Structure 1
C-alpha cells in the first residue's frame, strides 16, 4: 500500500525577468547566441566541408561543430532553467559565471589542436565543474564533494598529460591532427603507455567503474549543474577517445580492452542502479551504465555510434535531472518491492516485445549495413536488438491501453524511432573525420553479449536479490565519500 502527499502551491512563482541580476540575463542571451552561431557553423560545414584552422593551434572539423551545437543547446537550457532555480541565491552570479565558463572551456577544447592547449583546457573543464559541484562555499558537504571531484579530475589530467607527452615524443608532432596523421608509425612501449593513459583519462572523466565515486559524491551540486554534468561533462571520455581514434585503433588487443572496460561499466551500472532508492542516485548509476555503453561502442570501432549515443543520452539525462523534482514522491514501505520492469504479464506481450526487438535489429542493419557481416558490427546490432526489446517490453507492461491496442502500437512507435536513430547515426558518422575501425569478432565479444543477457535476466527476475552478499557489495560500491553525506535533516533546511 503506498500513499502520496502533495502540497498546494502557495502564491505565484517568482518573476525571473523582473529583478534578475544583469550577469545571468546577459550570459543566458550570449549562450543562446552561441547556439545559433553553432548551427550556422554546422550548416556551413555540411555545405562546404572545409576544416577551419589556425595552423598549429585550432582546427574546427565536423566533430567540433556538431558538438558545439549540442553543448550550447544544453547550456542554453541550463542557463534558462537556472534563472528561476537560482533566483535569490547569494551565489547566483557566481554560478552563472562558472556555468558559462564551463561552456566556453568545452567549446574551446573541441576546437583545440595544439596538445598543450588541449591538455590545459581539459584540466580547466574539470576544475570549473568541481567549482559548480561546490558552489555553496558555506556548505561543508558541498566543499567535500568538490574536493573529491577535483582529485579525480586532476588525476585524469595527469594521465592525459602523460599520454600527450608520450605521443609528442613518439611522433614529433605537437598537434592532435599531426599525431593522428602519424599514427601508422606508432607502436611499442611508448604507444602502449600513451594509449593506456588515454583510456584511463577517459574512464575517470566518464565515471566508469571503478572511478564512479566522484559522480555519486556530487549530489550536492545544484540540479542544473547536475544536468550539465550528466548530459555533457561525462561525455568527455567518448570525445577524447574519438579525437584520438587513430592512436587507440593501432592494435586490436587494446580495442578489446576498451570493449571490456566499457562492458563492465554498462552491466555494473545497471546492477548498481538496482539497489538505489533516491532519484538522483538512480540517475547517477544510470549514467555510469550509459557511459559504459558509449565507451564499448568506441572499442567496437564505431565512433559515430558512440557520438550518437552520447548526444541522445545527453538529451535524455538533461530532461531527467531538470524534471527530477516532479518524480519525488512519498511512498510508504510495502511487503514487496517491484523490479525495474517486473515479470512478464502475458506470453503475447513477451512475443510482441521479442519480435519488435528482432525486427528493430533488421531495420537497423538494412539502413546502416551493420550486422550483415560476422564482425564487431554484429555485436552493435545485437545491442540495438537488446535495447529495443527492453524498451518495447517496458512499453507493453506500462502503457495504459487495452491489450490489443498496446500490442499494435508498440511496433508502430519503435520502428520509426529505430529508423530515425539509424539515420542520425549515419549522419553523425558522415560528419566525423574518423574512419570506422570494424574489428573481427572474438571470444571476448561473445562473453560480453552473454554477460549482458545474464545480468539483464537476473535483475528483471529478481534473482540477484537472493544474495545478501551481492546486495551489500553493490550498496557499498555506490556509497559516496563519507564527508559529502548530510547526517541530519536540519542540514537539508540550511541549503
Structure 2
C-alpha cells in the first residue's frame, strides 16, 4: 500500500539461551518455583485443611491456594513461551516485568481479605493488563487499545470501590470475611447498590455483553499477553462473585438477574463469533460467550461450578492463543471454502449428538447430585447438556474419521470427559469456601431456559444467517474501537 518494496529474510528461530537478558530468565525460573510452592500448599490444604491468615489483611483458604496453582501455571507457560516469542525485542525485559507483576497482583488479589487491599489489587491488575495491551509504545493502535482497556478497567475499579464502601457502611466490616459473616444483616437500598456494583464490576472485567468492546479492541497485545488475558484476567469476574457470594445470594431475584445477564452474554458471544473472520476475533467472541456461562453458574448459586469453568476455560484459551499461528496455517482460505455455519444433516449424526448430550447430562446429575431435584441444580445440568451437545455436534461434523468410527467415538470420548468434569467440579467445590446456594425454579427461570434454547437452536440451524439486518448489527457490535484497527501494515514497525 505504501509503494515500498521489502525483502523478507527467513532464518533460524532465535536462540533463547544466547545473549538472553537476566531478568526474563530469572523471572521465568521464579514463576515456576512459585508454581511448585503453590502445588505444595494445595497438597497441605487438601490433606490437613490448614488455613493461614494475617488477621485483617490476608486469608489463605482453599480457593486461594487453588487459584495460586492455576495462575502460576498459566504464568509459567506464558513466561516460557515468551522467551522465544520476545527474543530480540527491545521490550523483552519490560514485558517480562509486567507479566510477572500481573501474576503477583492476581495472587495477592485471591488472598486479600482487607477491603482496601482487595480494591487496590483489582485496580493494579487492570492497569498492568492495559500496560501489556499497549506494550509497544511507538504503535498508535496499541496505545489506543490500551487507553480503551484502561477506561473500562478504571470504571470496573470505581464500581468495586462503590460496592466495598457500601458494604463497609452497611456492616461496619473492613474485611471480605467480615462482610460475609454479616451478610444476614444486609438488605435495602445500600445492599442493592453494593450488589449491583459488584455484578457490574464483574461484567466489565469478564467482558460480558455489552462491555465486550475492550476485549475485541485488545488484539494489539502480544500473543502470550492475549493468552494470559483470556486464560486468567477475564476470569476475575468469577473470582469476585465467589468472594462476595454471601452478598450476591441475599436475594433470589438478584441471582435470577445474574443468570439472565450471563445467558445474554453466552448467546451474544456465540452470535458475534459467527460473523468474525479472523482467528483472534473468533477467540475473543468465544471468551465473551464462555464468561457468560461462568456468570450464569454463579447466578444459579453454584460458585464451585463457576470456578471449575474458569479453570478449564483458562486451559483451553491458553492453548488456543498460543497455537493461533498453527490455526491460521490449517484454515487458509481456498476457493472451496465459504463462510457459513456448518450443520449436521445426517439423521444418524443428529441422533448421536442428541443422545450424547442427554447421556452426558444424566451422568453429570448422577455423579454430582445436581439436577435430581426441581431447583436451580436442574438448570445447571441443563446447561451441561447443551455444552455437551455443542461439543458433540462439532466432533460429528469435523472429526477426520470414517463415518461409523466417528459416530462411535463421540460418546466414547465425551461421556468419560463428562465424568472427569464432574470429578473436577466435586474437587473444586470442596476447596471453594462457599456452599452451593440452590434456589427454587420460577416461571422466569423457565422463560430464560426457553429463550436460550430457542436462540441457540436458531444459531445452530443457521436461521440467523437469513437476516441481513441482524448480520449488520452483529458485525457492528463485534467491531473493535476504530482507533485500534491497523489498516496499513507499515504502520507497525517495532524497530
TM-score normalised according to structure 1 size: 0.96
Do the aligned partners of 2:344 and 2:396 also contact (CA within 8 Å) in 1?
Answer: no
Residue 325 of structure 2 is aligned to residue 331 of structure 1: no
Alpha-carbon shift at residue 103 of structure 1 (Å): 0.1
Do the aligned partners of 2:136 and 2:494 also contact (CA within 8 Å) in 1?
Answer: no
Residue in structure 2 matched with residue 429 of structure 1 by the alignment: 429
Point out where structure 1 has 5 or more consecutive residues left out of the alignment: 1-7
Equivalents in 2 of 1:376, 1:399: separation in Å?
A: 34
Residue by residue, what CA displacement relative to the aligned partner does 1:136-190 show, whole Å, maximum 9, x if unpaired? 0111110110011001000000000000001011111100000000000100111
Helix, strand or coil for the counterpart of 1:401? coil
Using a 3 Å threshold, how does the CA distance of structure 1 residues 335 and 111 change in structure 2: closer, same or farther?
closer
Residue in structure 2 matched with residue 97 of structure 1 by the alignment: 97
Do the aligned partners of 1:212 and 1:288 also contact (CA within 8 Å) in 2?
Answer: yes
Residue in structure 2 matched with residue 383 of structure 1 by the alignment: 383
Helix, strand or coil for the counterpart of 1:379? helix
Residue in structure 2 matched with residue 283 of structure 1 by the alignment: 283
Residue in structure 1 matched with residue 456 of structure 2 by the alignment: 456
Equivalents in 1 of 2:335, 2:472: separation in Å?
A: 20
Equivalents in 2 of 1:462, 1:350: separation in Å?
A: 15
Equivalents in 2 of 1:494, 1:250: separation in Å?
A: 52
Residue in structure 2 matched with residue 48 of structure 1 by the alignment: 48
Residue by residue, what CA displacement relative to the aligned partner does 1:374-401 show, whole Å, maximum 9, x if unpaired? 0111111111111111211221222222
Equivalents in 2 of 1:157, 1:436: separation in Å?
A: 27
* 1:42-441 equivalences in 2 (<5 Å): 42-329=42-329, 330-332=332-334, 336-339=338-341, 342-441=342-441
Helix, strand or coil for the counterpart of 2:24? helix
Do the aligned partners of 1:279 and 1:324 also contact (CA within 8 Å) in 2?
Answer: yes
- The count of residues paired between Structure 1 and Structure 2 equals 486
Using a 3 Å threshold, how does the CA distance of structure 1 residues 485 and 333 change in structure 2: closer, same or farther?
farther
Do the aligned partners of 2:269 and 2:288 also contact (CA within 8 Å) in 1?
Answer: yes
Residue by residue, what CA displacement relative to the aligned partner does 1:415-470 show, whole Å, maximum 9, x if unpaired? 11000000000000011110110011122222222222222222222211111111
Equivalents in 2 of 1:38, 1:196: separation in Å?
A: 33
Do the aligned partners of 1:195 and 1:247 also contact (CA within 8 Å) in 2?
Answer: yes
Residue in structure 2 matched with residue 5 of structure 1 by the alignment: none
Alpha-carbon shift at residue 334 of structure 1 (Å): 5.8
Alpha-carbon shift at residue 90 of structure 1 (Å): 1.0
Equivalents in 1 of 2:385, 2:175: separation in Å?
A: 40
Equivalents in 1 of 2:289, 2:489: separation in Å?
A: 31
Equivalents in 1 of 2:182, 2:67: separation in Å?
A: 25
Runs of 4+ in structure 1 over 6 Å off = none
Alpha-carbon shift at residue 494 of structure 1 (Å): 5.2
Do the aligned partners of 1:131 and 1:146 also contact (CA within 8 Å) in 2?
Answer: yes
Equivalents in 2 of 1:106, 1:396: separation in Å?
A: 39
Moved more, 8-17 or 480-489: 8-17
Helix, strand or coil for the counterpart of 1:328? helix
Using a 3 Å threshold, how does the CA distance of structure 1 residues 221 and 335 change in structure 2: closer, same or farther?
closer
Residue in structure 1 matched with residue 4 of structure 2 by the alignment: none
Equivalents in 1 of 2:335, 2:241: separation in Å?
A: 45
Helix, strand or coil for the counterpart of 1:59? strand
TM-score normalised according to structure 2 size: 0.96
Do the aligned partners of 1:345 and 1:397 also contact (CA within 8 Å) in 2?
Answer: no
